[in-house]
Chains A and B, each alone.
Chain A
Amino acid sequence: MALTTEEVRHIAKLARIALTDEEIERYREQLSGILDHFEVLNEVDTEGVSPTAQAFALSNVQRPDEVRPSLSPEDVLRNAPRTEDGYLRVRAVLE
């Protein structure tokens, strides 16, 4: 299933990734290949099989509403490139 250049540009935009024309062409081929792999699944006859979102035979995995200790603020910020007054600092956000 071949993706168009426009579709790749759209996906890149959604993911906020800037791509060059060469990269777009490269990813177009790679992503199209991945979709081809999934196309194989379409050959399976699913007549009479109800759709499922899960492959595990699990349901209702829940926990009681109890508070447990969190990380220390120091640990929370440890990997952040920039912090300020105990907050993570990032560049300005524009709509």
Chain B
Amino acid sequence: MTTQANVDYNVDYNVDYEAVIGLEVHIQLKTRSKMFCSCDREYFDTEPNSHVCAICLGMPGMLPVVNEQAVAYTIMAGLALGCDIPTHSKFDRKNYPYPDLVKGYQISQYDQPFCLGGKLDIEVDGEPRTVHLERIHLEEDTARLLHRDDGAEAYALIDVNRSGSPLMELVTQPDMHSGAEASAFLHKLRRTMRYLQIADADMEKGQLRCDANVSIRPRGQEALGTKVEVKNMNSFRSVQRAIEFEIERQAQVLAEGGRIVQETRGYVDATGVTVSQRSKEEANDYRYFPEPDIPPTVLDEATTQAIRARMPELPDARRARFESEYSLSPDEARTLTDSRERSEDFEAAVRAAGGGLARPVALLFIGEVARHLNELGQEAELSETPVTPAHVAELAGLLERREVTGTTAKEVLAIAFETGEMPAAIVEARGLKAVSDEGAIDEIAARMIEANPKAVEDYRSGKKSAIGFLVGQVMREAKGRADANTVSSLLRKRLDSGS
């Protein structure tokens, strides 16, 4: 039970060993009611034990009835990930005693899950990779335990609100080889769930939980090494760090002539290490058997097709469409489709802006809009601000017609994020309209040349970069409302002609 944080970073473990990683991911489905009863599924910020009935409390003699939406969501996830959807599925009982499991068993799926196989294409450092899936099955979540100690004794408090919520479990094949790959997989998986609107999959809120099976083997060896299960990771970042630590720990053990023990290790976020929790010498014995209270599910082709018809456009398809429909680069299209909501805001703005403005709208979304949203938080969306797609559309129009300069556009957008006023109104009320009168700009240029003899001398003596300073001076005098290219060419004209 010792902590091994003393990894020798001078040893390049990757030279000798290849890591093999498989993930087990649990995702809470965003249904209204629970998996087998009609209690409200929400447990976040609720009064303890207020969303509980005789079924999710595990009272004897109660009859669980399957939530059709939870099944549809699971099938939808399976279709999105290219799984086979078998015609016949059933639920089973997984038996183990633990206080968070009110019945003493969890209703899960053992040998006939809803989805088999499948894959998810990811990209790591610009390289395409494919992660194959073993299966996706549906089960129920457990109650929530709060560990307490009042000095006299250690005890646990139980809130049954989460008990019986639909939980989808996805198991990958041991297809990943680094923490970065695992992280990329989880990001893409979450994006897919959010596009489907079947889960929020926020790891910090426990809506997505991930365990990693990590083993290493000498490079070139076919047989897998002894695997260690790593738990307790509560962010994508901690998944990556935990796996990276575990790979190096195992490599060090082998390098020192040791043997990897098959065990469960918990990740400690504060120190970045994994710590042995329990040895797996004694294999789990869940004594699965078919759930006698729930008749099997038979999915005919028509049902599967009806579920498929409910599916929205998925991230990869939308990205490809954005590239061709709006002439965006792969990077631009990727940024715009990273979140479903942002991709939809972008398209709403393109529609509102009218024809031909997709590009300036896209550049605003990727640039200034994203900058403002990032200030609000990593996953902030436009809907949390007073700015709407119509604002962005109008601003793109003003820019395109050169009624505002790029500098002013930033200012206008900042005000819109503050007040919610429309861009044209902001420009009107604050006199921010671009100076289109070349004569007026030229007049300022003349004054600035007059006022800055040093820069003029530098320029004329061959230091052409001195023009930048003068452009800046003119822009400042014009309060950013002059077009930088116009300013530059007017200055050049004057400086080169000697006036």
Q: Please report A residues at the B interface, Cβ cutoff 8 Å.
A: 10, 14-16, 53-54, 56, 58-68, 70-71, 73, 76-77, 84-93, 95
Who on chain B is nearest to A59 by CB? B298
Contact (Cβ within 8 A) A56 B295: yes
Contact (Cβ within 8 A) A92 B295: no
Residues from chain A with Cβ under 8 Å of B65 in the complex = 61-63
Complex alpha-carbon distance, A57 and B469, angstroms: 85
Contact (Cβ within 8 A) A76 B160: yes
Who on chain B is nearest to A75 by CB? B52
Among B54, B155, B159, the residue within 8 A (CB) of A71 is B54
Who on chain A is nearest to B59 by CB? A79
User: With contacts A14-B287, A64-B68, A92-B153 known, is A85 near B39, CB below 8 A?
Assistant: no
Residues from chain B with Cβ under 8 Å of A67 in the complex = 32-33, 38-41
Complex alpha-carbon distance, A80 and B51, angstroms: 17
Complex alpha-carbon distance, A16 and B98, angstroms: 10
Residues from chain A with Cβ under 8 Å of B69 in the complex = 64-65
Residues from chain A with Cβ under 8 Å of B290 in the complex = 53-54
Complex alpha-carbon distance, A61 and B295, angstroms: 6
Complex alpha-carbon distance, A15 and B156, angstroms: 20
The 3 closest A-B CB pairs, nearest first, are A53-B290, A65-B69, A87-B157
Contact (Cβ within 8 A) B32 A54: no
Please count how many residues in chain B sit with their CB below 8 Å of the partner chain's CB atoms.
51
Contact (Cβ within 8 A) A62 B158: no
Contact (Cβ within 8 A) A85 B48: yes
Closest beta carbon of chain B to A92's beta carbon, Å: 4
Q: Does B425 contact A (CB under 8 A)?
A: no
Residues from chain A with Cβ under 8 Å of B51 in the complex = 70
User: With contacts A61-B294, A93-B98 known, is A84 near B67, CB below 8 A?
Assistant: no
Who on chain B is nearest to A53 by CB? B290
Residues from chain B with Cβ under 8 Å of A95 in the complex = 277-278
Given contacts A65-B32, A91-B156, 14 further A-B contacts (CB under 8 A): A53-B296, A54-B290, A68-B39, A73-B50, A76-B49, A76-B57, A77-B49, A84-B157, A88-B160, A89-B156, A90-B155, A91-B153, A92-B147, A93-B156
Residues from chain B with Cβ under 8 Å of A68 in the complex = 33, 38-39
Q: Does B154 contact A (CB under 8 A)?
A: yes
Who on chain A is nearest to B154 by CB? A92
Among B33, B48, B53, the residue within 8 A (CB) of A65 is B33
Complex alpha-carbon distance, A93 and B154, angstroms: 8
Contact (Cβ within 8 A) B52 A70: yes
